[in-house]
Amino acid sequence: MYTTFAWRYFKAKKSANAINIIAWVTVGVIAFATCCQLLVLSVFNGFEALVKDSYSTFYSDIKIIPTKGKTFLLSADKLSILSKQTFVQNISTIAEEKALLQNGDAQTVVYLKGVDEQYINVSGVAQKTKKGKYEIGTAEYPTLIVGSGIEDAAGINLDGAFTSNELTIILPKKNSESNDPLQSLSEGNAKASGVFTIQQEFDNKYAITNITFVKQQMNLQSDEFSAVEIKLKPAENPKKIKEQLATLLGTNYKVQTKYEQNTSLYNTMQLEKWAIYAVLTLILIIAAFNMISALTMLVLEKKKDISILKSIGATKASILKIFLAEGLLLGVIGCSIGIALAMLICFIQVKWHIISLKGGTFLVNYFPVKIVATDILLVAVTALFIAFVAAWFPAYKASGQVIELK
């Protein structure tokens, strides 16, 4: 009943055109704000999915690192116990350290990651190797897979037409007793075998090679590692596995899920997402003031109707609900238009990539978008809540009006 009255009031010709104009401006502002909110959330969802996919290529499902220091001891028996856990699909040992990579006169600092043969099954680096091939070599003849940023910085040319790919790697030795700084460093040679392209952060930072070579250069023990990376079987819960591993390994080891390996990035993305959402919500609040004006003018115009309704037994609550329904109707129309428009724009973007990304530093050359049902619900609830609050004041005023029949 209340929505019927609200709809009639919305469609009815008003004595003052300003009421119609303000009402439609309110609908337009709500539509614009909800459209922008959903578009922003969808773009952030698209980038988040893209980043997670990129990071999933490099980061393992579970990573075990030392609680203190850079390395830990893990016996062969303990490693065997780990690999036999029912949730483990593949496991890889890691020795990692900062190194200086030299190629003739060109040089750059890299994170040298020594990995074993199982690393190819734990990470997706091999699938992202765009030049050459994924090959780590042996301890005697190590080979390097470098990020595309390091390829440029070190002047590496896999075509081999102009430059040699025989690279010099300088690493710090562990527990060196020499007072001579040069004696605390080791120097080895490796050949570039491939170049991977994942994401700028990795491409400019990492070089991957044979773990035995790295351990020899760093003077690490045979059972000493920087990390152990684990790929879980499908459908396994990383959080539960983390708890199991923490109990199994003890306090000398820190277990991280894929998310925990880069919490700062994910937290920053979430913070930016909701900060922009909050700013766009201010547009809805502006629409609320327009709604208050429109409904207040409508209440003044419908004073006679309100008196008639009260004279035939309508209660204050009934009058209140009629004008609340009028405000919510404006919110529903504006919200529906905004959501429909946002979904149309997202569909066009996904289908034809009409809005491009400039700069060439991204994995895609267009804005990625991803609509999530919970975001649609959130946007709708936010818009309708603000519409409800805005409608309350004129609706309350209308319900308190005294009967005036002339």
What is the per-residue pLDDT across 249-295, written as a single tens digit (0 to 9) for each?
999 999 999 999 988 888 888 899 999 999 999 988 988 888 898 88
Q: Identify whether the C-beta of residue 229 lies closer than 8 Å to the C-beta of residue 56.
A: no
Say if residue 16's pLDDT is above 60: no
Cβ–Cβ contacts within 10 Å for residue 371, how many? 18
Q: How far apart are CA 111 and CA 2, in angstroms?
A: 67
Please report which confidence band the pLDDT of residue 359 belongs to, taking 50, 70 and 90 as the band edges.
low
Comparison of pLDDT for 62 and 304, the residue scoring more: 62
Average pLDDT over residues 171-192: 83
Q: How far apart are CA 268 and CA 51, in angstroms?
A: 12
Q: Identify whether the C-beta of residue 21 lies closer than 8 Å to the C-beta of residue 302.
A: no
Interval 33-53: pLDDT, tens = 999 999 999 999 999 888 888
What is residue 226's predicted lDDT score, i.e. its pLDDT? 97
Please report which confidence band the pLDDT of residue 374 belongs to, taking 50, 70 and 90 as the band edges.
very high
Average pLDDT over residues 69-87: 95
Q: How far apart are CA 94 and CA 116, in angstroms?
A: 7
The pTM (predicted TM-score) of the whole model is 0.81
Average pLDDT over residues 64-89: 95
What is residue 363's predicted lDDT score, i.e. its pLDDT? 66
Mean pLDDT (the chain) is: 89
Comparison of pLDDT for 16 and 267, the residue scoring more: 267
What is residue 124's predicted lDDT score, i.e. its pLDDT? 94
Least confident of 1-15, 75-89, 163-177, 194-208: 1-15
Q: How far apart are CA 267 and CA 259, in angstroms?
A: 10
**What whole-number percentage of the chain has pLDDT above 90?**
64
Burial of 181 (0-12, 13-18, 19+ CB in 10 A): exposed
Please report which confidence band the pLDDT of residue 84 belongs to, taking 50, 70 and 90 as the band edges.
very high
Q: How far apart are CA 147 and CA 129, in angstroms?
A: 9
Determine phi and psi for 126, rounding to 5 degrees.
-60, -40
Interval 146-172: pLDDT, tens = 999 999 999 998 875 545 568 999 999
- Domain extents in the chain: 2-56+265-399, 61-257
